[in-house]
Amino acid sequence: MSQTVLRLFGHLELWHADRPLPLLPARPQALLTALTLWRGQWCDTDRLVGTLWGEHPPPSALINLRAFICQWRKRFSPLGTLSIDSRRGAYRLNPGASLLDVAEFETLLADGHHALAAVDPGTAANRFEAALGLWRGTPFSALGLCALPEQTRLTELRDRGRSGLVTALLAQDRHAEAVAVLRQAVAAQPYDERVWARLVTTLEAAGRRADALAAYRHIQELLWEELGITPGRDLQTARLRVLSPAS
């Protein structure tokens, strides 16, 4: 059977047999995204209506919701994998044998952490890189605030995955690649002092002392100009390590 893939990172995408399939309009897409967010759970119609139309849904909201369900079922039918279950007043997405990128993301990250614990940095790096490669943008972006807890959780997993990847790369003396990952991380988290501190120490370990000090000065100035604070302990320790005679 051909693989069906539902991509939730960034804009919703539905793929089958390695080809993207046409999607329904924006509001039905938001419905499918919501059912995917709460996959495995029964979602009552009031919750779904509130998610799609907010506090003041139109009188036709329930009828439209049912129409959207029918449209997705029709779209899923020839795929033989995804389906939407129903019971009185509620719906539930059944992924079947289809692949959800958010679920694959979590599996790959878990595999990476297990490989790191088993002192297999090569496998760990491969798994972390594969997981991070799935991140195309904010997951469940069509849902607004109701998806915020899940977005926060997945973002924290991504950040831990980046950190694990750096550890795996450094264990293989792949300093340049570790620096590149950390550059991406500080671009995404410009005020995270722990990430900047690790960038400074990684540059120092790679023999790039001048670059390490330049990175420290950059975050030092950014923290003062934007937040009115000075670097904390992690960054100060990283700087002292670069400046120590033994480095």
Please say whether the dihedral angle defined by the alpha carbons of residues 116, 10, 93 and 88, taken in this order, is positive or negative: positive
Q: Say which CATH number the domain at 162 has.
A: 1.25.40.10
Same domain? For 94 and 108 the reply is: no
Same domain? For 127 and 214 the reply is: yes
- Angle (CA) 19 21 22, round 5°: 150
Q: Say which CATH number the domain at 38 has.
A: 1.10.10.10
Please say whether the dihedral angle defined by the alpha carbons of residues 22, 12, 104 and 47, taken in this order, is positive or negative: negative
Query: Which domain-ending residue is among 67, 99, 131?
Result: 99
Cα–Cα distance for residue pair 215/197, rounded to 1 Å: 9
Same domain? For 145 and 229 the reply is: yes
Q: What does the pLDDT profile of the chain (247 residues) look like in tens digits?
A: 578 999 999 989 999 989 999 999 999 999 999 999 998 899 999 999 999 998 899 999 999 999 999 999 999 999 888 999 999 999 999 988 889 999 999 999 999 999 999 999 999 999 999 999 999 999 998 898 889 999 999 999 999 999 999 999 999 999 999 999 999 999 988 999 999 999 999 999 999 999 999 999 999 999 999 999 999 999 999 999 999 855 4
The dihedrals phi and psi of 84, each to the nearest 5 degrees, come to: -120, 115
- Would you state the pLDDT for residue 246? 56
Task: Provide the residue range defining the domain that includes 234.
Answer: 100-243
- Would you state the pLDDT for residue 245? 54
CA-only gyration radius of the chain, Å:
23
Query: Which domain-ending residue is among 99, 117, 136?
Result: 99
Same domain? For 70 and 153 the reply is: no
- Domains identified in the chain, total number: 2
The reported pTM is 0.89
Give every CB contact of residue 56 below 8 A, 6+ residues apart in sequence: none
- Would you state the pLDDT for residue 144? 83
Same domain? For 116 and 215 the reply is: yes
Same domain? For 113 and 155 the reply is: yes
- Would you state the pLDDT for residue 244? 85
Strands (E), 31-149: 43-44, 83-87, 90-94, 99-100
Same domain? For 186 and 139 the reply is: yes
Same domain? For 92 and 105 the reply is: no
- Would you state the pLDDT for residue 247? 42
Same domain? For 118 and 201 the reply is: yes
Query: Which domain-ending residue is among 51, 75, 99?
Result: 99
- Would you state the pLDDT for residue 2? 74
Same domain? For 121 and 162 the reply is: yes
Same domain? For 164 and 71 the reply is: no
Same domain? For 56 and 142 the reply is: no
